[in-house]
Amino acid sequence: MPVKSVTVRVPAKVNLQLSVGPRESDGFHNLITVFQAISIFDDVTVTCGPPKSGVSISITGDQIHGVPADDSNLAMKAIALMAKEYDLEIDAHVEIKKSIPVAGGMAGGSADAAAAIVAIDYLYSLGMNREEMAEIAAQLGTDVPFMLSGGTAIGTGHGDDLTAALSRGTYHWVLALSSIGLSTPAVYNECDRLRSESEIAEPQTNEQLMQALLAADPKAVGEHLVNDLQAAACSLRPALRLVLDVGQEYGALGALVSGSGPTVAFLVTDEEAGLDLAVALTASGVVGSAARAYGPVAGAKVLT
């Protein structure tokens, strides 16, 4: 192989809408979600190793706590699946430079899996198209297909059936980060428990949100952010309610728990407002750290 190493950069995501239907007989929930890829990135480098050396992994960066450095890592699972599907003998070392928070509702593990798919396609000159990559991605997790494409998209089914959203403009975000993650299955189970006595409708696309995105109107987008898992995340981690309140008190256009949490995403008017809010949040003492980002950005791509 002429190419021995490749680095793929892949973004985090926030969910502008996450509407959750009732639990189905297969244990999963039908979803309507609006993803936006934002400018916090992991870099996944795959370097070919000696024959018969197998696949190894190392984790670096500032968000390494809790990231598995073994075969349970989603990037490793992606490589194993690629080897099986394309009958490859893969001998390589994977280095993941983590900047996306772990178990934070920002699809960090899914992002790394998407990056691994792109890296193996590149290294082994497979010539996969996006549809073929998405088929592999969907077997690894519901967020993985979106991390390939990025941008702003509507996910249906389990969240992996994607349609590009008609969205314009750039959106500025402040992310209130937590040092301790939340289990996605635990949040879904708590959501089911909290809603067990109520009639749960099938999820619908939030048309007001979609119109706001098309109009490039951050204020209207902020007013129509919605996450059906937010109550469950706050039930499991009550301190999140205070974080949400403080961010909105300091002028955020809108706020929600991202995905299954515990990251809280605040939409702000512009970069300067984002800096002010990040400073206010950290000074208030209700969050350990805050990050700023903008979106939408592209999905997993090879760095050249």
Which of the residues 13, 77, 97, 98 is marked catalytic?
A: 13
User: HEC states along the chain?
Assistant: CCCCEEEEEEEEEEEEEEEEEEECCCCCEEEEEEEEEEEEEEEEEEEECCCCCCEEEEEEECCCCCCCCCCCCHHHHHHHHHHHHCCCCCCEEEEEEECCCCCCCCCHHHHHHHHHHHHHHHHCCCCCCHHHHHHHHHCCCCCHHHHHHECEEEEECCCCEEEECCCCCCEEEEEEECCCCCCHHHHHHHHHHHCCCCCCCCCCCCHHHHHHHHCCCHHHHHHCCEECCHHHHHHHCCHHHHHHHHHHHCCCCEEEECCCCCCEEEEECCHHHHHHHHHHHHHHCCCCEEEEEEECCECCEECC
- Evaluate the omega torsion of the peptide bond into residue 51 and state whether it is cis, within 30 degrees of 0: no
Cβ contact 144:28 at 8 Å: no
- Report the DSSP beta bridge partners of residue 291: 175
Catalytic-residue membership of 217? no
Which of the residues 42, 143, 160, 228 is marked catalytic?
A: 143
Residues 6+ apart with CB under 8 A from 50: 91
Catalytic-residue membership of 4? no
Q: Which residues are catalytic?
A: 13, 143
